Structure 1
């Protein structure tokens, strides 16, 4: 969300929680986390919670976490209909665009897992687990057309995806995750890994809340939110000590172009400006 009033309130709440010793987790962009399916609304799209980028659909957390997801119909006739499953949308195809433009976009969920819960309209609206959601034909056609225009490999790879199982496989492959290296993590919609708060706090304490790049040290308890933990290889489930780096929000925001983009808007930008005002660069 980028409404200024909401950002201010959230930031004040975060500061208050930190001041009484309750840590609010920080996170940065990218890396695979299995997010819980959630409802997608027109308002959330308008607010920027969801964005339709060139390489796919993204769920954007207020702390900079971006998870690549697909969209699917929450309600579907399954029982009594042979091979009936909701279609998986991985780009802003004609179907999604028409629904959004006509303001009739509802009953959709986001997901990034192989199987998802679906309300079976053919069985008294009972929720069932459905695996291997097939790719929407309009999405495939759009991706193939984009590949013909640009010759970018990722368009070709994504157009060859058959279902949600292959979507997850390609997503992990793109992020450099191999079998046995990382397991799916039960996380909320912002991608927070289980126990990440404790891991982050322990590592920052180990480094005495000192930035490993610029050397700035945070001694004021309620300003510890400005010291964050970065994953060097970009894989958020790889929490080995050698893969972690304690960074002030200013250095974290300048790790690479992805981070610069994530810290250029919303709550991240608000906190970055707050930090720069309190801890200006020494000339």
Structure 2
């Protein structure tokens, strides 16, 4: 007696959809082509007049010291997002962090902490890459949640906007390190400003995404959706990076999402302005969960 294929069972898949459980792919062992990246040029030398102390720090991992500051390899450090993406024509300039604030805690819990890199710059200048362009030295402001976490100069988020702005504008990493000397302890970004790989798709991304869609049978893996799309409709099926790192193409970091579910992911609302999204919604309106 041949057992039924539980993955292809229409009744079981209907039940999974009703209880918002993901479709079962447990029998599948996803094997994808190895990512192929462009050879990275060494980072440009910094201008002579701009201090570069600590920008090329080697580090293993980061932890919060009992006083709330960030520690790497026995030293207090600053961290910031180095690669800045353009979301629908909008570019958000990041803040640098001096403590284990609620922003970092949220990034850790959502698996997006590896977007950060370590720095020890004392003048507020940091290396930033816009999209896939060259590194540029940019003046960044300190994170206000960090200031509140350390009660720096009496800062708290319920202060007036002018009072908060005044403390932010007066803040300097040099003064911070005078109060909290660079000093001990270890979980963290894996890269420094100079060594972090470019957060961009590998050159063979089309091949990787096509193969994942094929192996997952052109189904959206969002719980509660599970819409099935044929190969002819695969342009409505996207491959999403869970941790937002485009260069991390491990099967466990990739998920197939229909364009409707993809548009509901953090920082992906710009997808809703695409013609394909509007076509998809009109075509699958009756079964849409978005």
Q: TM-score, normalised by structure 1?
A: 0.38
Q: Which one has a bigger Cα radius of gyration?
A: 2
Q: TM-score, normalised by structure 2?
A: 0.37
